[in-house]
């Protein structure tokens, strides 16, 4: 890529794998457990965080030299809160049903540790372009895990993907249900999201020995 | 040269191969290994891990055999083929070949699936990790078929066993390292994943679900049902089984947990062979009695009236709780699991008492989860290390004090 230098590319690709905010830094677990029962909700949540973190990082980065460090947390909160309200209003206007599913968790993006973490750790010390890339990278890393977890939970828990039945009809007993297959109700419960995230962490660490701390 | 020498030779030759733990497992199952330990002082006792496990399995065999007869008995009773035995343990109506075979053909597949899948995973993990296959699954594999409803689909059991062994045990480092009892992890998984197959009034009697589907398909048949005693009480209905039937085990329930009498015999066997901890069993019974008495007291003093949804289970005489549901089985065979229970003597008393106390509490207050024993034991499994920690710290403090008094 000519557009991005090697260092800039790493800003986007690192959080996807070896420095993933969920599986390595274990941040933003709350929403990852709560809303991943459906793939659609996971995807929208990922996009929402992508917007908030991408724009927020740029805003904070632009203001980084004029924010008095004593009140920087308040300033950061105001920036996130305004962005989250935008997301919330857009969702309510164009995807009302979905915004009801996500309910309070859109608002709780404000408290998502990943966002404040990136503001503090990156945007306050780097230029807007690099901050933007960092925000996009981390939000993508978050979204990827959400989508993987959402995929397995919706597929095994409800037998659907994006609400479309892919395993057959569970009431009419078609598809795999004809052979006696049944949906796994445990998959729809938050504890199972924790276990799925745990399995992802397990797989990731067994593939990359450098991540094993001991 | 016999087979034995050949196997030893074979083992020597392939010592560094990846699959050798799998071979060793079968080898040590057949023959005593011919190698000895190389350094240090060792005391050889007959009670190795395998012997311990086998003792527990032997204690469960009566429950298993009874479970087979009971499965057939409940099946025929529900279909109206035979009369109730009315609480006589040696009734010829119960111990028939016909009853036995119905149960046999339903339960043996459960055992095969449980052992096949569970040991398969143990083998795979042993090969990946490069250590010897552990005996840990022997008891779990026998417990699992005994604590599931008879009509559970085999693939569900297989999925649950995979989950229980991998997430419940292997991720923590295998046998002896697990926090939760694997058999109960398997049951809890089934319970939350497939609730329609783990509760309700159909699953406990073989054939009831099938009959339901036939009726739904338009056939003119009587519905078959077999609610467990706990289920009946939770709904506030009248219990039709007599106390002796509950104690002897002629009631619907999971495969091996109905007969309190045989569980009691198994428990005594475990106590006398010093495998199971009598402290945990006794204190857990005490805990259950304590909670039962509290509930009975609440009902007697009139705080809870018949209009309350808790009335059915709360007004049950406290000692009934000991013989209905899985309480006896859980206390004797699962709460005493040496890996997941408390290790200290005082800790065992606390742990056992809370198991009994909480299981009756869950039973009464949460009719959606009528089997409180499972959840209570799992909960206390989590707290067992904490209890031990405080018992040990308490000891340390007391002794320090004694030392100070002497020196002062």
The reply to whether residue B192 touches residue A195, judged by beta carbons under 8 angstroms, is no
Residue of B nearest to A153 (CA): B193
Angle between helix axes B3-13 and B20-30 (nearest 10 degrees) is 160
User: Which ipTM was obtained for this model?
Assistant: 0.82
Tokens of B137: 């699954």
pTM beyond cutoff 0.90: no
- Tokens for B346? 């005082």
Q: What is the mean pLDDT of residues B330-337?
A: 89
Query: Is some CB atom of chain A closer than 8 A to the CB atom of B177?
Result: no
Residue A1: pLDDT band by 50, 70, 90 thresholds? very low
Per-residue pLDDT band for A30 (boundaries 50, 70, 90) equals confident
Exposed e or buried b per residue across A14-23, where buried means at least 16 C-beta atoms within 10 angstroms of its C-beta: bbbeebbbbb
Q: Which two tokens stand for residue B211?
A: 């009959």
In this complex, do A189 and B192 lie within 8 Å of one another by their Cβ atoms? yes
pLDDT at A118 over 70: yes
Phi, psi of B198 (to 5 degrees): -115, -5
Nearest to A180 among B153, B159, B195 (CB): B153
Hey, is the C-beta of A182 within 8 angstroms of any chain B C-beta?
yes
Mutant choice from B192, B203, B378 vs A, greatest count of A C-beta within 10 A: B192
Tell me the average pLDDT of chain B.
82
B258 pLDDT higher than 70: yes
Nearest CA distance, B161 vs chain A (angstrom): 14
**What are φ and ψ of residue B175, in 5° steps?**
-55, 135
Burial (0-12, 13-18, 19+ Cβ within 10 Å), B339:
middle
The partner residue sitting opposite A195, judged by closest CB among B159, B167, B195, is B167
* pLDDT category of residue B31 using cuts at 50, 70 and 90: low
Contacts of B156 in chain A (CB under 8 A): 182
CB contact under 8 A, A198 and B171: yes
Whether residue A185 and residue B192 make contact (CB cut-off 8 A), yes or no, is yes
CB distance B63 to B266 below 8 Å: yes
The pLDDT value recorded for residue B195 is: 82
Looking at the DSSP bridge assignments, the partners of residue B232 are: none
Check CB contact of B22 with chain A, cutoff 8 Å. Answer: no
Average pLDDT over every residue of A176-182? 75
Could you tell me if B153 lies within 8 Å of chain A, comparing CB atoms? Answer: yes
**pLDDT digits 0-9 by tens, B189-241:** 988 888 888 777 777 777 777 777 777 766 666 666 667 777 777 776 777 77
DSSP secondary structure letters along chain A: --SS-HHHHHHHHGGGTTT-TTTTS--SHHHHHHSTTSHHHHHHHHHHHHHHHHHHHHHHHHHTTTS-GGGHHHHHHHHHHHHHHHHHHHHHHH-HHHHHHHTHHHHGGGG-HHHHHHHHHTGGGS-HHHHHHHHHHHHHHHHHHHHHHHHHHHHHHHSEETTEESS--TTTT-GGGGGT----GGGGSHHHHHHHHHHHHHHHHHH-GGG---
How much is the mean pLDDT over chain A? Answer: 83
Q: How far is B379 from chain A (nearest CA, A)?
A: 15
CA-wise closest residue to B275 among B65, B59, B70:
B59
| Contact predicate A62/A119, CB 8 Å | no
**pLDDT, tens digit, 9 for 90 and up, residues B126-169:** 888 777 777 778 888 889 999 888 888 888 899 999 999 998 88
pLDDT at B224: 64
Q: Which of A178-182, B82-86, B278-282 has the lowest mean pLDDT?
A: B82-86
The closest CB to that of B189, out of A180, A186, A202, belongs to A186
B394 in contact with chain A, both atoms CB, cutoff 8 A: no
Q: Residue B34: what pLDDT? A: 57
């Amino acid at each position: 890529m000519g557009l991005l230098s090697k260092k800039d590319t790493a800003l986007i690709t690192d959080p996807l794998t070896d420095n993933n905010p969920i599986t390595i830094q274990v941040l933003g677990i709350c929403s990852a457990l709560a809303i991943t029962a459906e793939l659609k909700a996971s995807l929208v949540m990922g996009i929402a965080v992508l917007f908030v973190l991408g724009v927020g990082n740029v805003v904070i980065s632009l203001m980084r030299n004029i924010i008095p460090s004593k009140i920087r947390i308040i300033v950061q909160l105001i920036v996130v809160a305004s962005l989250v309200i935008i997301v919330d209003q857009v969702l309510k206007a164009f995807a009302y049903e979905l915004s009801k599913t996500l309910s309070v968790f859109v608002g709780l993006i404000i408290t998502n540790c990943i966002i404040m973490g990136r503001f503090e750790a990156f945007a306050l010390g780097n230029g807007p372009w690099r901050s933007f890339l960092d925000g996009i990278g981390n939000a993508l890393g978050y979204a990827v895990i959400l989508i993987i977890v959402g995929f397995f939970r919706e597929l095994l828990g409800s037998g659907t993907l994006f609400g479309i039945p892919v395993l057959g009809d569970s009431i009419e007993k078609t598809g795999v249900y004809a052979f006696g297959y049944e949906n796994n109700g445990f998959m729809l419960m938050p504890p199972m999201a924790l276990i799925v995230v745990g399995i992802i962490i397990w797989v990731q660490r067994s593939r990359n020995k450098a991540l094993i701390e001991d | 040269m016999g087979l034995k020498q050949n196997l030893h030779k074979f083992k020597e030759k392939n010592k560094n191969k990846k699959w050798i733990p799998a071979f060793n497992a079968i080898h040590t199952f057949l023959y005593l290994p011919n190698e000895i330990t190389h350094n240090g002082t060792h005391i050889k006792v007959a009670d190795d891990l395998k012997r311990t496990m086998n003792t527990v399995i032997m204690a469960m065999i009566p429950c298993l055999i009874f479970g087979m007869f009971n499965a057939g008995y409940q099946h025929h009773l529900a279909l109206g083929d035979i009369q109730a035995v009315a609480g006589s343990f040696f009734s010829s109506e119960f111990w028939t070949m016909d009853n036995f075979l119905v149960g046999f053909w339903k339960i043996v597949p459960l055992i095969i699936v449980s052992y096949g899948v569970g040991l398969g995973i143990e083998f795979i993990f042993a090969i990946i990790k490069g250590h010897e296959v552990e005996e840990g699954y022997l008891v779990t594999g026998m417990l699992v078929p005994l604590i599931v409803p008879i009509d559970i689909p085999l693939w569900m059991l297989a999925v649950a066993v995979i989950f229980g062994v991998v997430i419940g045990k292997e991720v923590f480092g295998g046998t002896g390292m697990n926090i939760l009892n694997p058999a109960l992890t398997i049951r809890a998984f089934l319970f939350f994943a497939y609730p329609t197959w783990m509760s309700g009034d159909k699953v406990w009697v073989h054939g009831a679900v099938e009959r339901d589907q036939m009726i739904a398909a338009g056939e003119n048949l009587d519905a078959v049902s077999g609610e467990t005693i706990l289920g009946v009480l939770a709904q506030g209905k009248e219990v039709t089984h007599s106390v002796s039937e509950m104690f002897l085990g002629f009631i619907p329930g999971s495969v091996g947990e109905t007969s309190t009498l045989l569980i009691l015999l198994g428990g005594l066997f475990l106590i006398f062979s010093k495998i199971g901890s009598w402290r945990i069993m006794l204190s857990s019974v005490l805990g259950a009695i304590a909670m039962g008495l509290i509930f009975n007291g609440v009902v007697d003093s009139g705080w809870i009236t018949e209009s309350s949804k808790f009335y059915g289970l709360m007004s049950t005489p406290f000692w009934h709780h000991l013989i209905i549901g899985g309480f006896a089985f859980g206390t004797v065979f699962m709460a005493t699991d040496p890996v997941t229970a408390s290790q200290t003597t005082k800790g065992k008393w606390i742990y056992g008492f809370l198991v009994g106390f909480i299981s009756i509490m869950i039973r009464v207050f949460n009719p959606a989860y009528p089997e409180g024993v499972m959840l209570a034991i799992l909960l206390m499994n989590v707290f067992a290390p904490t209890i031990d920690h405080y018992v040990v710290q308490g000891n340390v403090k007391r002794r320090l004090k004694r030392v100070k008094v002497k020196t002062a």
